[in-house]
Structure 1
Amino acid sequence: MKRFSLLALALLLFLTGCAGFTGGSEGTQASEGKTEDGKVKIDFWTFWGSEIRRPVIDKIIEDFNNSQDEIVVEHTYIPFGDIWTKELAAIAANNPPDVVINDINATALRGQEGQAENLAPYLEKDDISGRFYENLWDATLYEGDSYGIPFNTDTRLLFYNKDAFKEAGLDPNKPPETWEELEEYAEKLDKKSGDTYERIGFYPLYGVGSDVWLLNGSGMNYFNEDDEPVINSETNVDTMEWIKSWKDKYGEDTINRYQSQIDSQQSNPFFNGSLGMMANAATFYTQIRDYAPDLDFGVAPLPEKTSGSGNTSWGGGFVAEIPKGSSHPDEAWEFIKYLTDKEAQEYWAVKNFDNVANIEASESAATSDELSEKDQMVYEMAAQNLNDTLLTPMPAYAPDYVNLINPQLDAILIENKPAQEALDKAQQDVEELVEKTAQ
């Protein structure tokens, strides 16, 4: 009875959320049949509806449609906040799209839940796994089989203000390489007028979260190679105490004042030199380009915790999937191959200034004549950094584990809970989740 109710609810969601979509690329239901000239129609769902990304993906689709005479791809745009709910409802109603863009970090979980088609039969005939960065490909696997093909990704870098470096007596061509140097540089960059900071050198949680520094410090995810949670490791405790020391140094009022400026984007204190260094996604550069085009800045990998520990960064991304029950999986596969091949990937990378999953396309985009000198500098660094970038895929044996960890990280920084105590609690909660999931 419970199973029937869930299916009924999913069907209701689909009918109310999708049935009103009629015609065109603004929301057609999953394609059926063929065109008048006998071409198979496949429906491709994305959340790329902005004035920048929509024309790019539509051009890629147009190029694919013109490249052969058997398949026609129709683009359905659905807002980011709705697309995956609608997809699950469509799967439950046995009327899914043929291809959908989905979150890479939950690909294995969707494989386990039977929400995406197993791509192993296609890969046996047409193995394209070598196109992609290894960490991205591995994130698509469940029990050794892929359930999605990597499309785009991202990585975190250290941005630093070269003019501020010069003013503080630092070499503008030598960014900090370790956490110790990061602290030393920040101390020199700090500038106060009385009790008020006119410039702060660095604060680790501007632009990224605690999880990025935990990854950077330990060089691994929250789980070890044996799939065991290692949340309360000595390194993680040390990292959280290190982050807390920065908050204690600058004080909550200063941190909140700067954060309010960062939230407004165009008045980001990094743009005017009142924030010397900032960790952020590589695509943060597009804000610099738009709001502070004359800023003299550099980019570098995230500093190592200690010399030799590694410049580990964090990334996410999206995959192209064939939802379970697609009416045209063979044709969907042909489109996915085109979507993730060099030409389409490089076009997406250059036009959107976005990191892509295809290695050859990523490396080629970094030297594209369509990019300015600054564009190339940042993109090349980002492309190189993908080799040191880890993902945090949702393990099938511990779904939603981050919801057990994040409250404890907040408790350390907001409630002054001892780092060891908080991470011990997170460790216990995740271990219980793993045990419960295994039952």
Structure 2
Amino acid sequence: MKKNIVSMLALTLIVTLFLGSTVDAGFFDFFNKDKKDEVIELSFWNGFTGPDGKGMAKMIDEFNRLNEGEVKVKMQVMDWLTYYQKVVTAISSGKAPDLGIMHIDRLPEFASKRVLTPLDTLIEDLNWSSKDFAKTVWDAGIYNGERYGIPLDIHPLAMYINIDMFKEAGLDPNNPPKTPEEFMEAVKALTKDTDGDGEIDQWGTAFPPLWPGPEFIVKSLIYQFGGSILNEDGTKVTYNSPEGIKALEYAIDLVHNKKLSPAQIQQDGEVTLFRQGKLGMHFNGIWMINGFKEQSSLNFMSYPIPAFGKNASAMAGSHNFVIFRQRKEDQAREKAAVKFIKYISENSSKWATYGQIPARNSVRDSEEFKSLKHQASIAKGLSDVVFPPLHPALNEVLTPLHQEVNLAILGEKTAKQALNDAAERAQKALDEYNRNH
């Protein structure tokens, strides 16, 4: 009996030593594993600091609830002004977030640095194509033949009108200006000296020298008058073409010659005028909708911008989902990230309520989206939406343009001088980038 016990103990010791040396520790954990250890936690960075961030947080909570025990997304929000630099810092230190949001005009810059994961293979099973999204924004997520971005939304320049001012001027708020002639007629009817002191105190519109004037309004004008930012192969700055000069001259003329827009507007001064009922037509991004809706005294409606020139091109941006490249590839995490992107995309009617147009066709066709009268109205102009040219050096090309347009609208430079000065600086930066890449 004693010999048998000793033999059994020896056998147990041998088996234990054998298993301990040859079987992964996970084998033992399998039978008593806490479910929390199985959850894939994804870090998701963005710059949604306003109400849109609260909306995204609600959508993430719902995704986490539906995928409890499998995937959990943790969102980190920071100001857009610092977001991109923080992304660069995190990537260089080997601590990149799993996924993030990137503006469409910054995507080529980061894709060219090979810090984004190509998505073609990852989303292959989803069978997504331009048939599922607005084609222009779907195509904009491709750089050098590979997809790096999945579009969440489209945020174009829009026109906001004061309904009461329109009616008082004998204009139909349900039939806003669409052509150059209709716009000029409306802006003249809305511009008034209401107290008879010889000074205009009610304006038809405003073309501000600061945001969003250079960034959205003037760039829309450039495309409307037949101009462009770069040539097709991205080697030449073209916004100082005769068409571009004519576009900027249009804005300068409206402000300084026709005096149908206030001059010397400070940052957001035109927003204040619109809120005060002193501006008939306000041009700004679709993201202004909810802020205006919060002001119960403001009776307004939203529309696509009219044609000031040959067409009704409207400069737009887009938030795109990206998956950041990690030092060590983890397919499980990448697939979890795609699962999250798929959920948000297919449920982006909720995102639309925070002042965006969903990129996904089926969502825009839904009754839920159509019930959002402001967003649905602006979305009717999607066929005229244009995006900045997708070039890694775009920021260096556009910065001089924004600075010089500011001076031109302030009346400190002619359109030709401003655009030529901007193009000279931008061309040097573009040439340097193209030489080195």
Q: What is residue 110 of structure 2 aligned with on the other side?
A: 110
What are the equivalent positions in structure 2 for 1:201-240 lying under 5 Å apart?
Answer: 201-205=204-208, 208-211=212-215, 212-216=217-221, 217-218=224-225, 221-227=228-234, 228-240=236-248
CA contact (8 A) 2:155 2:285 kept: yes
Separation in structure 1 between the aligned mates of residue 263 and residue 369 of structure 2, nearest angstrom: 38
Displacement of 1:231 in angstroms is 1.1
Unmatched segments (≥5 aa) in structure 2: 1-33
Which consecutive unaligned segments of at least 5 residues does structure 1 have?
1-33
* Cα deviations by residue, 1:121-176 (Å, 9 ceiling, x for unpaired): 21444442433222222222210111122223311222222322222233333322
Contact 1:58–1:75 (CA under 8 A) maintained in structure 2 = yes
Query: CA shift at 1:415, angstroms?
Result: 4.9
How far residue 305 of structure 1 moved from its aligned partner, in angstroms, is: 2.8
- The residue that corresponds to 1:73 in the other structure is 73
1:233, distance to aligned residue in structure 2 (A):
1.7
Q: Please say if 1:359 is aligned against 2:367.
A: no
Structure 1 residues 62 and 379: CA distance shift in structure 2, 3 A? same
Check if 1:436 corresponds to 2:432: yes
For 2:37 and 2:268, the matched residues in 1 are separated by: 56
* C-alpha RMSD over aligned residues: 3.0
Q: Distance in 2 between matches of 1:249 and 1:119?
A: 51
1:305 paired to 2:308: yes
> Which digits, 9 at most, give the CA deviation of each residue in 1:106-127, with x for residues without a partner?
1111110112112232144444
Q: SS of the residue aligned with 1:120?
A: coil
- CA distance in structure 2 between the partners assigned to 1:386 and 1:45 by the alignment: 28
- 1:241 aligned to 249, 260, 266, which one? 249
- Residue 281 of structure 1 corresponds to which residue in structure 2? 285
- CA displacement 1:213-264 (0-9 Å, x = unmatched): 34342356412334343211222111111111122147699534x657837x
Deviations 1:7-41 (A, max 9, x none): xxxxxxxxxxxxxxxxxxxxxxxxxxx96442222
C-alpha contact (below 8 Å) 1:96/1:325 kept by paired residues: yes
Aligned identity (percent) is 22
Q: Which amino acid aligns with 2:250?
A: W
Contact 1:35/1:41 (8 A) holds in 2: no
Please name the residue that 2:20 is paired with.
none
Separation in 1, partners of 2:79, 2:227? 33
Which secondary structure state, in structure 2, belongs to the residue aligned with residue 315 of structure 1? strand
Amino acid at match of 2:424: Q
Q: Conserved in 2, the CA contact under 8 Å of 1:339 and 1:345? A: no
State the alpha-carbon separation in 1 of the partners of residues 114 and 189 from structure 2.
55
1:366/1:317 CA distance change after superposition, 3 Å: same
Quick check: 2:105–2:394 contact (8 Å CA) kept in 1? no
For 2:158, the equivalent position in structure 1 comes to 157
Contact map agreement 1:151 1:318 (CA 8 A) in 2: yes
The CA distance in 2 between the partners of 1:97 and 1:438, in whole Å, is 29
Give me the TM-score of the superposition, normalised by structure 1: 0.79
Q: What TM-score, normalized by structure 2, do the two folds share? A: 0.79
1:270 pairs, out of 248, 271, 274, with 274
Greater Rg, structure 1 or structure 2? Answer: 2
Check conservation: 1:161, 1:277, Cα contact below 8 A: yes
1:363–1:380 contact (8 Å) kept in structure 2: no
Asked whether the equivalents of residues 133 and 357 of structure 1 are also in contact (C-alpha less than 8 Å), the reply is yes
Q: Which residue of structure 2 lines up, in the alignment, with residue 143 of structure 1? A: 144
Letter in 2 for 1:360: S
Deviates most, 424-433 or 235-244: 424-433
What letter matches 1:418 in structure 2?
Answer: T
Distance 1:294 1:226, change over 3 A: same
Do the aligned partners of residues 117 and 335 (structure 1) sit closer, same or farther apart at CA in structure 2, a change above 3 Å counting? closer
Do structure 1's residue 38 and structure 2's residue 38 form an aligned pair?
A: yes
